[in-house]
Amino acid sequence: MFWIAGGSLVVGALDKGLGNPVVSLIRQQLTHVPWDGFRFYDLIFPLFVFLVGVSIALAIPRSLERRGRAATVRHILTRGVLLFAIGLVYSGGISDGWEEIRWLGVLNRIAICYTITALLFTVLPIRALVPLAVAGLVGYWAILAFVPIRDITLEKGAITRLAAKRGETNVVRLYETTTNHVRGRFLPGQNVAHHFDFEHLPGRRYDTYWDPEGILSTLPAVVSCLIGLFAGVWLVGGSASSTGGSRTFGLLLSGFVLVVLGMAWSMHFPIIKKIWTSSFVLVTGGYSLMLLGLFHQTIDVWGWRRWCEPFIWIGSNALTIYLAARFLGFGNLGQRIAGGPVRALFGPFGDVVVALVSVTLLLAFARFLYRRKVFIRL
């Protein structure tokens, strides 16, 4: 959340001011890959989904004990619907009319993953969820690898060229009159997930013809949440003799194994965030497990907590900070305070000053909420 809400602004400004190759490399890691491959920034969203799974492992058993199964299910559904509705507003709501609603976005995906994972954990034993997760990843790969699709690329440039060639401007007609079929394609606009969105996803799609948080790719995203659930169960469960160090080792080892498996699978099923491929799930799930293990060892086992206090402020109100970054715009506020003549005063490092002011505003807002025990949750 820190990087999304403003941290990346500081690195970008430093890169612009310094032109240092090391800073440039870090800056590159704070951008998404165009299509296949993996950078640090590509981990942030699946890490969010993973941590939702961890929180489910902590919260649902307490809810079942206090409320019972029926009330817990109602609570899960209510939270899921509310978060989904917030996601609709975040993406523009009905500002451009009913037909332009973006039905699936980041918060919507989190809402769906939370609801499905929490319901599964409520009604099924954990040992039944592991084969479900495996089946989800293998099944998604099988769908994208073997289900035939029309030999048409749903991408603006490709559609423009095809329209000029055929003398037809209606994209639906271009799509429906394409009679050749292919399979096993994992290209932008030419894969089962994107074609399924084009045919079945209503409203506004983020990439015109398809959405990176589309319908089919929600299935492997749920598995990302399940991996977080497994990690949470591992942390809070275990025998009385198990130590914090052993739990850390389990997280690190399992994370390493998932990364290796994901990298190996990527040779046949590429790591692609925008269709949330199964190899992407394994690699990001593996890194998430290892990060959780490192933080667990550092904070919970060794007790080194003071360094992470600003991140606790943000994490305690993650949804609020995410929405505030969107609707308040800490970057815009930073420009209002330190832009113009103040920015010019610092020459090539003016953008760094603006970025630092923006991040300071973010942290001050998060600290204000935390110190006054204002925790806005669904």
The per-residue pLDDT for range 229-272, each reduced to its tens digit, is 999 999 988 654 567 788 999 999 999 999 999 999 999 999 99
pLDDT at position 85, please? 95
Q: Name the DSSP class of 274.
A: G
Taking only the tens place, the pLDDT of each residue in 123-143 is 999 999 999 999 999 999 999
- Predicted model pTM: 0.90
Inter-CA distances, 207 with 89, 133, 175, 273, 285, Å: 18, 28, 16, 14, 26
Task: Provide the residue count of the chain.
Answer: 378
Give mean pLDDT, residues 73-100: 92
| Cα–Cα distance for residue pair 133/119, rounded to 1 Å | 14
What are the DSSP calls for 325-343, one per residue?
A: HHHT-HHHHHHHHH-THHH
Least confident of 79-88, 235-244, 250-259, 317-326: 235-244
Average per-residue pLDDT in the chain? 90
> 23: burial class by Cβ within 10 Å (0-12, 13-18, 19+)?
middle
- From 107, 53, 47, select the one nearest 80 (Cα to Cα): 107
26, 266 contact by CB (below 8 A): no
- From 288, 233, 236, 230, select the one nearest 258 (Cα to Cα): 288
Q: Calculate ∠ Cα 321-92-209, nearest 5°.
A: 115
Taking only the tens place, the pLDDT of each residue in 4-31 is 666 677 777 777 777 778 888 888 888 8
Least confident of 76-85, 296-305, 335-344: 335-344
Confidence of residue 2 (pLDDT cuts 50, 70, 90): low
**Which tops the pLDDT comparison, 220 or 317?**
220
Whether the predicted pLDDT of 176 surpasses 80: yes
Whether the predicted pLDDT of 189 surpasses 70: yes
Q: Calculate ∠ Cα 262-28-159, nearest 5°.
A: 75
Per domain, the residue ranges of the chain are: 43-147+183-304
Confidence of residue 326 (pLDDT cuts 50, 70, 90): confident
